[in-house]
Amino acid sequence: MTVKVAIAGASGRMGRMLIEAALQLPEVTFAAALDRADSPFIGRDAGELVGNACGVVITADVDAALAVADCLIDFTRPEGTLAHLRIARRLKRAIVIGTTGFSPEEKALIGEAAREIPVMFAPNMSVGVNAVFKLLDVAAKILASGYDVEVFEAHHRYKVDAPSGTALRMGEVVADALGRDLGECAVYGREGVTGERKPETIGFATVRGGDVIGDHTVMFCGLGERVEISHKASSRMPYATGALRAAAFLQGKASGLYDMQDVLGLK
């Protein structure tokens, strides 16, 4: 049985990749496409965005889109995602959220909605990245003493939040494994005379430029050696196929807050 998906932000970079993937995967039916009301693509065939007309017309009517779908996939912006979430909650539709940059209060709203509908919320839908999360948990426990932890990430010039949601999740995984609170031990910038590095901190470095899809590296720096665990994306396709796999996973699921570790059976 296929899952019928609606894709938000259809004309965006990630939206187009999701459409391309949805039209290729047999376990998915591309049912609806959403975009902003002021988008020049409203009323056009969504498939034309990827050179494959499919009969799905892009609309700004979220209610109409979700009426013909089982699940909404949203990689837009926090404010747009939360507006879509309210409608999905009212219509009892599952939702896959790949948007990043939420505040703690906004994340709490997602958790509230998950009490009533199935919600997949993950900072990165790539299978490879989620394998890295698991590896980081193992590495952090082995390298728990005598190693400084630094997280590096690079993305394209258009990304609006920093550090990336994936980098933050990497930091959370390491902090949890070490029994630390990332909110208390994270260092997001260094400038001037910073003093000697405190061993309990987890540092973050961010690069924005060009068309970098997404590079992430966590370094465990000891005396005389350094262990690095990296993931480098050369395409958005892994995020798209992972999100569609997540939508299929949610089909028939009870309400709740899920992530890609659930989808991959890594918990």
Collapsing DSSP states into helix, strand and coil, what is residue 52?
coil
Q: Are 260 and 242 in contact (CB under 8 A)?
A: yes
Q: Which of 155, 156, 216, 232 is catalytic?
A: 155
Alpha helices, DSSP H only, in the chain?
13-22, 62-67, 78-91, 104-113, 127-142, 165-178, 182-185, 237-250, 260-263
| Strand-strand pairing, 214-221 and 226-233 | antiparallel
Q: Which of 4, 134, 159, 253 is catalytic?
A: 159
* Euclidean distance between CA atoms 5 and 246, whole angstroms: 11
* Euclidean distance between CA atoms 47 and 33, whole angstroms: 10
**Dihedral of the CA atoms 116, 122, 128, 132 (nearest 10)?**
-120
Nearest to 95 by CA among 167, 39, 134, 80: 80
Q: Are 79 and 55 in contact (CB under 8 A)?
A: no
Q: Does 159 participate in catalysis according to the annotation?
A: yes
* Euclidean distance between CA atoms 108 and 125, whole angstroms: 20
* Catalytic residue IDs: 155, 159
